[in-house]
Chains A and B, each alone.
Chain A
Amino acid sequence: MNARRNPSEERLLAYAAGVLSPPQAVVVAAHLALRPANHAWVRRLQAVGGELLDETSPSPLSADALARAMARIETDTGVVTAQPLLNDMPELPEPLRRYALGPWRWVGPGIRVRDVHAPRDGACRVILLKIDPGRETPRHTHGGVELTCVLSGAYATETERFDVGDFEEADAEVIHQPRVVSDDPCLCVAALDGQIQLDGWLGRLMQPFARL
């Protein structure tokens, strides 16, 4: 496994444990849909979680706990229905199809963005980003961590190339300006955390994006 284009072990563990923030979990879920080996590993980590739950010393329940539970199931009308696939982009990996999508917005030459209406976590939210061949994203830094997964096409940073399914974690130190190197537009899903600081003239155009 190439450590650089995959989520870190810690992030996969946090995802398996259910403690990753929801926007980040959306991007990891998209990555896992495109990387069966990592998906299998997360499942195995869940088995570890199950085993640890099994080994946990039980904590006594209140006296009426079972009676309450039995009363609840008697009156329960909740049914589990398969979640309808909500959005208009069948090319997305299945975990992303469950979310409604905002309109595409033009945010700069060859760059379009649309919101993924997944749960937010404070300032952290999920977007789809579509960038034309040869274009660069606006040069930016971020206050927090930015997670990106490539859904189609490819981009490259100064040091690395990211293809379909590849996952990038960029933190506050990174000055980030990926360039699309595929012949077709590059579609990415990203969880953006913290304030994004845009450099240069594109910053003004990117205001709606930056103020999301």
Chain B
Amino acid sequence: MHAEPSPLTSAEVRSDRMSPAAPAQDALKYDRLIEAVALRRDREAFAQLFEYFAPRLKAWLIKSGATPGAAEDFAQDAMLTVWRKADLFDARKARAATWIFTIARNRRLDMLRRDARPLPTPEIELAGEEVRRPDDILSMSEDTERVRHALARLKPDQVEVLRLAFYMDNPHSEIARSLDLPLGTVKSRIRNAMIKLRAMLELSEEAS
């Protein structure tokens, strides 16, 4: 439908270098679109991001219990934040879906607070000041694939509880209710899923 935006960015240089483990071109598409918004306030790129992510954000909020109207407002607001914060996006640190998930996650945390004082909510900073090591670019590009493979190797019921844990405000009891399972079963299923994920995803260099 639209011409692929092709900002000549350092991201392209990076993507050439990481070819052995490069994710599919499609996985990088959304990273490029966010960079186009950051570099040129590219409205076309934003429209494409919106069309891909807004319906997913809406679905996420509906599953967490929001009404369709509230879920759509949430998606609108989260995407406006994507527009505003695009310059903080760093493809070396997070893929587009992770970055947008984080923006949405911070917005939800903001909504959860019960008082109205205008205070900053703790955010997970994906755009900090850290010094990157040369191999970080490669390890970041492998990340999406690693995560995808790890999820594929979990049992379906483990992926299901994990998905619900990310969706629901009060994971354990709500998951138990929605799956009609005892609370203990849900807890042990989440714990087992986390143990498997750690075994598959934790890098040895990150061990404490």
Give chain A's interface residues, CB within 8 Å of chain B: 1, 9-10, 13-14, 16-22, 25-26, 28-29, 35-38, 40-54, 56-62, 65-66, 68-70, 72-73, 76, 78-80, 83, 95, 98-99, 117-122
- Among B43, B55, B105, B148, point to the contact of A59 (Cβ < 8 A): B55
Chain B 105-125 per-residue mask, 1 if CB under 8 angstroms from chain A, else 0: 111110011110101111010
Q: Given contacts A22-B109, A40-B206, A41-B198, is CB(A29)–CB(B75) below 8 Å?
A: no
A16 to B102, CA, bound (A): 8
A20 to B171, CA, bound (A): 10
Q: Given contacts A22-B121, A95-B122, is CB(A53)–CB(B54) below 8 Å?
A: no
**B194 pairs with A13, CB closer than 8 A:** yes
Residues of A within 8 A of B68 (CB): 59
Q: Given contacts A1-B208, A50-B94, is CB(A22)–CB(B112) below 8 Å?
A: yes
**B191 pairs with A80, CB closer than 8 A:** no
A48, A58, A79, A80, most chain B CB atoms within 10 A = A48
**A41 pairs with B202, CB closer than 8 A:** yes
Q: What are 24 A-B contacts defined by CB distance under 8 Å?
A: A9-B191, A10-B194, A13-B190, A17-B105, A35-B208, A42-B124, A44-B147, A46-B101, A47-B95, A52-B166, A58-B59, A59-B55, A61-B72, A65-B75, A65-B76, A69-B50, A73-B43, A78-B80, A98-B120, A99-B119, A118-B122, A119-B121, A120-B113, A120-B114
Chain B 137-164 per-residue mask, 1 if CB under 8 angstroms from chain A, else 0: 0000001100110110000000000110
A41-B202, A65-B76 given; name 20 further pairs at CB < 8 Å.
Answer: A13-B171, A13-B194, A18-B105, A18-B106, A28-B122, A37-B206, A41-B206, A43-B126, A48-B201, A49-B98, A50-B96, A50-B102, A51-B151, A52-B166, A53-B104, A56-B59, A69-B80, A70-B46, A95-B122, A120-B114
B84 lies within 8 A of chain A by Cβ = yes
Q: Tell me the dominant secondary structure on chain A's binding face.
A: helix
Residues of A within 8 A of B187 (CB): 10
A79 to B84, CA, bound (A): 6
A72 to B76, CA, bound (A): 9
**A37 pairs with B62, CB closer than 8 A:** no
Q: Given contacts A53-B104, A98-B120, is CB(A19)–CB(B54) below 8 Å?
A: no
Tell me the nearest residue of chain A to B88, going by C-beta. A80
- Among A1, A57, A73, A98, point to the contact of B83 (Cβ < 8 A): A73
Residues of B within 8 A of A56 (CB): 56, 59-60, 63
A40 to B50, CA, bound (A): 29
Q: Given contacts A19-B169, A59-B68, is CB(A48)–CB(B75) below 8 Å?
A: no
Task: List the count of A-B residue pairs having beta carbons below 8 Å apart.
Answer: 213
Interface positions, chain B 70-86, Cβ under 8 Å from A, are 71-72, 75-76, 79-80, 83-85
Q: Given contacts A21-B112, A46-B98, A72-B80, is CB(A10)–CB(B191) below 8 Å?
A: yes
**A68 pairs with B76, CB closer than 8 A:** yes
**B108 pairs with A59, CB closer than 8 A:** no
Residues of B within 8 A of A59 (CB): 55-56, 58-59, 62, 68, 71
